[in-house]
Chains A and B, each alone.
Chain A
Amino acid sequence: MDFITTLINGLSIGGIYAMIALGYTMVYGIAKMLNFAHGDIIMVGGYTIYVFLNMTGHPAIAIITAIIFCLILGVTIEKVAYKPLRGASPLAVLITAIGVSYLLQSLAQIIFGSAPKMVTIFNFGTKNIGGLRIQISTIVTLIATIIVMIALSLFVKFTKMGRAMIATSEDKDATQLMGINVNGVITVTFAIGSSLAAIAGLFYLMKSPSLTNTLGSMPGIKAFTAAVIGGIGSIPGAMLGGFLLGIVECISYSIPVIAPYTDAIEFLILIVILLVRPTGILGKKRREKV
């Protein structure tokens, strides 16, 4: 019975990772850059929910504002920091992304201080199912993640914008020659990724209500790990990787001997996956072109 509880806990953390990883995998697949600031957009989402919840008292308004705010923020970051570097070396883009991540963290600390803020949003309580105590928020997280995953897959497969995204991820230059506005596609990708990050921030607050300015950095890096495990660029892969990583984390926490090494184990899995199968579980193999 304990094992099943651990598994369910793992699914609930995994849901958060999966939600972040979906954004990561889309941005990485299409813009071909590791957006280090993605984790910090989760933090911004969390703070926006906190501010508007205190202001209006309506959770729904707070959540919608957070999603819109993160969307605008994500697009602004893309336009200001990443767009001028399109075509520059990947190293420069990566360093800028780290800079943006630092910028968001320090801005949040200047505005809100370093003391953690407590946010209670949607206290659903727990439910007994067959002798198991399950938090309702776990179920909500799970269902929402699966819905978002399916919606994204359908969007990419069946809409014009989605097809343009696939084309951009395959070959940027050829896509441009076909008359597709590649910059527009990348902007939309960032918008989607950032709004998913806001939702991930909501789930994070539902799980652990304390809000700090470095909230997003560790989950962000772990979600990237999840995206790599599942196969970067693959939407179902990101979800699979997120759930797998969440379950591994919870199992590792439940064994006292290896509990302190949990983070190390997760990174070790990443290193092993990258060495054995760099394309991840569901990723496609791509030949490197000169």
Chain B
Amino acid sequence: MSKLKGFKWKYYINYAVVFVVGLILTLMSFTVGLEQSTIYLLEKMLIAIILAVSLNLVVGFLGELSLGHAGFMCVGAYLGGKISLILADKLGTGPLSLIISLTVGGLCAAICGVIIGLPALRLKGDYLAIVTLGFGEIVKSIFQNTSKESFGGALGLDTPRYDKYTLFIFGFALVLLTLAVVQNLMRSKHGRAITSIRDNEIAARATGINVTKYKLMAFTVSAFFAGIAGVLYSFSNFKVNSYTFGYNYSIEILVMVVLGGIGSINGSIISAALITFLNTKLATILTGDKAVLQNLFYAVILIIIVIYNNSPALKGFREKYDLKKMFSRVVKHNDPSVIRDDQGKWARIPTKIPMDEILSTDVQPNQSTLKPDKSKEDK
């Protein structure tokens, strides 16, 4: 019982939701049977969730913009697809070869993450964004110009067909794995080091945090899951073509992260699923030149959300109409037996204090310590 005291349900609610949804859909697919298009849509959603959560690790928690997420995905998709082609002759298309190719794809993307991250993470902000963008384009053009025998060249690589249901269950398992790794990383000592780099890199360095190590850690883990998502993508579409993984794809993932809330994992899950669903539904309504209305909509939403969430001028407005606070004001805990340990004065301490504020604080020397108490001395 004492162990369960620290157990917080809100930390595990997303696993539970994903698990239950996965279970229901799996049962449905075996008993009622799902349509081919529904399964394809679900796979796309799962891929988007993995991508958004892993990008959120870099954008939300490390605080750096990576525009090369599609590049890591591309590496994973091609190498995982190639391995599965080799394995298909020997092991067939069972779960074992699926696991091996997922691992290989993820690891290759992670290695790419280390290779590009080691030098690039000395940079930050706009420069890092441009370098990762460049990395994505380099990867794209390398795979485009490979020979037909190795990676299919401009026509793309055909991947073996796996059983639809296996892939779909694997997708859910991988989403759970991504959540487990990312959330546990962020709640550990390493996660706190990563967020401290986001908040103030110089202060973090001064406290003895190995900035390069933690930056590289976040970058590599993010690349690993992007690679895994790439492998899933290649099996879900039966084909990999490097044209897909351009700069626009990276932006699309970024839109999911921003809409869900930068730094919020649950937000990323919801917005990734929602945007993928909307994209597929809108694609049937908006055809031809109208399809671009969708991009226009996303662009406007992106701008509005970022300005609303970050503008210094709107700070007062945001605090006044904070949805979370308004909600907590409505739902009051009247039960006196419920002790809310995170309420009270500790809740009001800002977690993110700007450096200027710390430096500008006038430290008033305590008068009583400066003046020795003479009355005591006399005695």
Known contacts A95-B258, A98-B251: A90-B145 contact under CB 8 Å: no
Per the bound structure, the CA–CA distance linking A92 and B263 in Å amounts to 13
- Comparing B91-99, B157-165, B289-297, B333-341, the segment that makes contact with chain A is B289-297
Whether A260 touches B144, Cβ cut-off 8 Å, given contacts A99-B299, A109-B292, A275-B119, is yes
**A178 beta carbon closer than 8 Å to chain B:** no
Are A34's CB and B144's CB within 8 A? no
B1: chain A residues at CB < 8 Å are: none
CB-CB nearest in chain B for A276? B119
**Contact partner, A94, options B125, B138, B202, B299, Cβ 8 Å:** B125
Does B105 make an interface contact (CB < 8 A)? no
> Which of A15-23, A56-64, A79-87, A119-127 lines the interface with chain B?
A79-87
Q: Label chain B's interface by main secondary structure.
A: helix
Q: Quick check: B141 and A275 within 8 Å, CB to CB?
A: no
Q: Which of A84, A100, A270 is in CB contact (< 8 Å) with B130?
A: A270
Closest to A105 in B: B295
Tell whether, in the assembled complex, residue B144 and residue A110 are in contact, meaning their CB atoms are under 8 Å apart.
no
Q: Considering only CB atoms, which chain A residue lies closest to B355 in the complex?
A: A290
Interface presence of B300 (CB below 8 A):
yes
Q: Does A76 contact B (CB under 8 A)?
A: no
Query: Which residue from chain A places its CB closest to the CB of B122 in the assembled complex?
Result: A275
Judged by a CB distance under 8 angstroms, whether A253 is at the interface is no
One of B106-114, B173-181, B306-314 at the interface: B306-314
Q: Are A85 and B134 in contact (CB under 8 A)?
A: no
CB neighbours (8 Å) of A100 from chain B are 299, 303
B142 pairs with A261, CB closer than 8 A: yes
Most buried by A among B123, B126, B133, B302: B126
Q: Is the CB of B127 within 8 A of A274?
A: yes
Give which listed residue, B123, B293, B296, B302, contacts A95 with CB less than 8 A: B302
- Give Cα distance in the complex from A86 to B130, angstroms: 21
User: Is A155 on the interface with B (CB-CB < 8 A)?
Assistant: no
Assess whether A209 is interfacial by the CB under 8 Å rule.
Answer: no
**A84/B313 in contact, CB under 8 A:** yes
Q: Is A143 an interface residue (CB 8 A)?
A: no
A279 to B157, CA, bound (A): 41
Q: Which of B359-375 contact A (CB under 8 A)?
A: 359
A55 at the interface (CB under 8 A from B): no
Query: What number of A residues sit within 8 Å (CB to CB) of B?
Result: 46
**Complex CA–CA separation, A98 to B306 (angstroms):** 11
Tell me if B307 and A84 are in contact (CB < 8 A).
yes
Q: Are B303 and A96 in contact (CB under 8 A)?
A: yes
Indicate which residue in B123, B133, B311 contacts A278 across the interface (CB closer than 8 Å): B123
Interface range on chain B (Cβ under 8 Å from partner):
35 or more
B211 in the interface (beta carbon within 8 A): no
Query: Nearest CB to that of B124 among chain A residues?
Result: A90
Q: Which residues of B contact A91 (CB under 8 A)?
A: 59, 63-65, 125, 262
Q: Which residue of A lies closest to B133 (CB)?
A: A221
Shortest Cβ distance from B125 into A: residue: A90
User: For residue A221, which residue of chain B has the nearest CB?
Assistant: B133
A98: chain B residues within 8 A (beta carbon): 251, 254, 302
Q: Are B137 and A94 in contact (CB under 8 A)?
A: no
Chain A, residue nearest B119 (CB): A275
B131 interface contact, C-beta 8 A: yes
Is residue A154 contacting chain B, with contact meaning CB distance below 8 A?
A: no
- The answer to whether A92 touches B306, judged by C-beta atoms less than 8 angstroms apart, is yes
CA–CA, A4 and B300, complex, Å: 47
Contact partners of B123 in chain A: CB under 8 A: 274-275, 278
- Inter-chain contacts of A96 with B (CB < 8 A): 302-303, 306-307
Sample of 24 A–B contacts (CB below 8 Å): A34-B126, A81-B303, A84-B307, A85-B306, A88-B311, A88-B312, A90-B126, A91-B65, A94-B129, A95-B65, A95-B306, A99-B302, A100-B303, A102-B251, A103-B299, A106-B292, A106-B293, A113-B289, A225-B130, A261-B145, A264-B137, A274-B123, A275-B122, A278-B123
Q: A95-B254, A99-B299 are in contact. List 9 more A-B contacts (CB 8 A).
A: A89-B310, A94-B125, A100-B299, A102-B298, A109-B295, A261-B141, A270-B130, A271-B131, A271-B134
